[in-house]
Structure 1
């Protein structure tokens, strides 16, 4: 296991949803912020990576395990560590922890390095990841198996706007969750919370494209399946009823 980095955080109004929970998209966005802070501390910032290798980090998969979501004005600690890497993938965990030590949620993330010009996956150089003290392994972690085909999906289109882009020029990875979850009706969202979220990014989406989002709910009514632009991004959300239900 690698070096651990922690930082305190208080959930602000603008990152909270209608029900005073921290939004999943903001959780993902802030996780990236915290991993970036550790990289700066270890002299492996995005600027360093660009200057030395003309590369940038891209997330390929997320798995979120949620016990409960952080609440508006709640003081929490966000902890992260790079856990392992191989010649093409790097793995990092995040933990959101309440003041009393309760583990609120865990994020398992898979990353690759991409060329700024080529937009292709590049090999991981030991020099880039050495300061994180993560374990080197030949194993590639198994991906979540998504539903191959949605038989009777609802369809919504989203234009990619300038505000959807990150500084690498493609859609910010946190945005996809909002596009997917916004297809689920208000009453369901009011009475349910996500307990597990799987996201896989297969192809980047860039400015000027239109995203076609497909959504289908399982027969059990508690698992939603989402495909954006074919299989460019796949999302699966397991839902549970709120505790007050």
Structure 2
């Protein structure tokens, strides 16, 4: 349920004003796992819903973008997690485009509880996809100007996910189904997170709390394909690291690494 819609502007130095957007969301049981905690894939869906609301408010909603022959695609996420929201909790999601260059747009999301505490911070990299040419497009000024992001001609260097240990890695296959495809005719980004997390297995997930994630999308997968989700785990006394690859026919479609806090049983 939408409780609040707010658009504000944040001054950056003396020259530029970044347009920020806020909205509240209620966490429902179907968004949560068996511990009544919001899942990472559902978190991604909620944040994309809010960024889509901002685009709609700026006159650049999904229908308008499709008329122009474009859609936004996500190239990378970096999550800094204090805690995940819980069932029946109301959260505020704030988002804004921070910078852009000729090819990439960088957007942040901040998730807070109603007391103003920051629960999760997400740094993301977006690109524009040209439907006709089936490849990334340069960012037209009329599409990025309304967000009032800062132009920086240099490509921002974001940390890469850690590589899997091929000797320790194991894998699980997943079939790409009809309902995995979203309205942009791509496999929804949350599905990649489903595939990576499910490969860890229930015993690992019950004993660990996710505190950091880095996910990079390299190559799209298509309906009807069979993917292999690989994972290797490095466990320490207080924390663990899981490294992931999603592959089809030897090609890497997605890479990820997660840091976990060990939970005492």
TM-score range, shorter chain: over 0.9
Alignment partner of 1:126 out of 123, 141, 144: 141
Structure 2 CA distance for aligned equivalents of residues 41 and 146 of structure 1: 34
Root-mean-square deviation (CA), in Å? 1.4
Decide which of 75, 90, 94 is 1:60's aligned counterpart. 75
Provide structure 1 residue ranges, at least 5 long, that are not aligned to the other structure: none
In the comparison of the two structures, how many residue pairs are matched? 243
Q: Deviation per CA, 1:163-206, whole angstroms, max 9, x where unpaired?
A: 11111222101111111111113222112111001100011111
Q: Which residue is equivalent to 1:224?
A: 242
User: Post-superposition shift, 1:219?
Assistant: 4.7
The separation in 2 between residues aligned to 1:147 and 1:132, in whole angstroms, is: 32
Map of 1:241 onto structure 2: 262
Contact 1:63 1:108 survives alignment (8 Å): yes
Q: 2:161 touches 2:215 (CA, 8 Å); kept in 1?
A: no
Matches within 5 A, 1:24-103: 24-51=40-67, 53-103=68-118
Answer whether contact 2:162 2:256 (CA < 8 A) is retained: no
In 2, distance between residues paired with 1:149 and 1:81? 32
Between the aligned partners of 2:98 and 2:164, the Cα distance in structure 1 is 33
Task: Name the structure 2 match of 1:168.
Answer: 184
1:198 and 2:247 are equivalent in the alignment: no
Give me the whole-angstrom Cα distance separating, in 2, the residues matched to 1:7 and 1:118.
35
Consecutive unaligned residues of structure 2, counting only runs of 5 or more, are 1-11, 13-17
Residues 1:104 and 2:142 aligned together:
no
Conserved 8 A contact 1:169-1:206: no
In structure 1, C-alpha distance between the alignment counterparts of 2:43 and 2:260, rounded to whole Å = 17
Partner of 1:16: 32
**Structure 2 length as normaliser, TM-score?**
0.88
8 Å CA contact 1:28, 1:174 repeated in 2 = yes
Q: TM-score, normalised by structure 1?
A: 0.95
Instruction: For 1:89 and 1:39, locate their aligned partners in 2 and report how far apart those are by CA, in whole Å.
Output: 16
Aligned partner (choices 203, 206, 230) of residue 214 of structure 1: 230
Looking at structure 1, the residues matched to 217 and 125 of structure 2 have their Cα atoms a distance apart, in angstroms, of 10
